């Protein structure tokens, strides 16, 4: 972790682009596009009057037949915090109030802006040391390992089980399996299998006849 109590100054975007409240909505859209921003603090006569977001511009259609200014369409009374405000407190307010950003100010001066994107970056920064400590090849879960020594009976049981698991019922009277030695597929009927056993028995006892 970066610190026991992260503060908003550590993760804010400093010196954000601002916009004059007297500009037109068209000017605002252009400013957002070229600065790749989603929130712009709005100033009129050197004083903060609100914050403009892409959501505010999406509501401009309600001003049908008019040409509103940025001051008219922006959200007034933006959420303002000090630079040393705990990060958890700011994130909680953004989540509870569904705000898109907080303006970071001190002594009337705009120092930065803390957006939801900044909050996600802060989350990554807090989680990354934990992930890195596990190592890139660390398994998600670990099964306990028990070493009981080599047991031939256990090997024979596992071999028998593997052959049993390799056989499935494809159709009544027909078995489909995998030959564990050659990897070839064994397909035969139960009746054919029993006939093979009988032929083998008679050959051993010398009773095999042409």
Task: State which residues form the domain around 82.
Answer: 8-134
Can you give the pLDDT at residue 184?
41
pLDDT score at 89: 96
If asked whether residues 105 and 177 sit together in one domain, one would say: no
In angstroms, rounded to a whole number, what is the distance separating the alpha carbons of residues 85 and 104?
9
147 within a domain of the structure (yes/no): no
The pLDDT of residue 131: 55
Q: List CB contacts of 1: < 8 A, sequence separation 6 or more.
A: 126, 129
pTM, to two decimals: 0.59
Q: What is the pLDDT of residue 130?
A: 60
pLDDT of residue 132: 54
- pLDDT tens for the chain, 210 residues: list them: 455 789 999 999 999 999 999 999 999 999 999 999 999 999 999 999 999 999 998 888 656 557 889 999 999 999 999 999 999 999 999 999 999 999 999 999 999 999 999 999 999 988 886 655 555 555 444 444 444 455 555 455 554 454 444 444 444 443 434 343 444 444 444 555 555 555 555 544 444 444
Query: How many domains are there within the chain?
Result: 2
Q: Do the domain assignments include residue 32? A: yes
CATH number, domain of 126, equals: 3.10.580.10
Determine, yes or no, domain membership for 149.
no
The answer to whether the CB of 112 falls within 8 A of the CB of 97 is no
């Amino acid at each position: 972790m970066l610190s026991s109590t992260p503060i908003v100054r550590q993760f804010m975007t400093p010196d954000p682009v601002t916009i004059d409240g007297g500009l037109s909505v068209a000017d605002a859209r252009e400013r957002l596009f070229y600065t790749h921003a989603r929130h712009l603090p709005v100033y009129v006569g050197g004083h903060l009057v609100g914050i403009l977001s892409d959501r505010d511009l999406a509501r401009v259609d309600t001003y049908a037949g008019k040409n509103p200014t940025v001051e008219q369409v922006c959200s007034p009374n933006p959420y303002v915090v000090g630079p040393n405000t705990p990060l958890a407190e700011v994130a909680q307010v953004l989540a509870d109030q569904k705000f898109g950003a907080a303006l970071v100010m001190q002594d009337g001066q705009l120092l930065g802006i803390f957006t939801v994107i900044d909050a996600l970056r802060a989350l990554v920064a807090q989680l990354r040391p934990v992930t890195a400590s596990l190592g890139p090849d660390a398994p998600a879960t670990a099964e306990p390992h028990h070493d009981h020594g080599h047991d031939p009976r256990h090997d024979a049981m596992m071999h028998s089980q593997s052959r049993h698991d390799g056989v499935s019922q494809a159709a009544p009277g027909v078995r489909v399996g995998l030959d564990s030695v050659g990897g070839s597929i064994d397909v035969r009927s139960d009746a054919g299998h029993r006939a093979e056993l009988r032929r083998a028995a008679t050959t051993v006892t010398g009773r095999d006849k042409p």
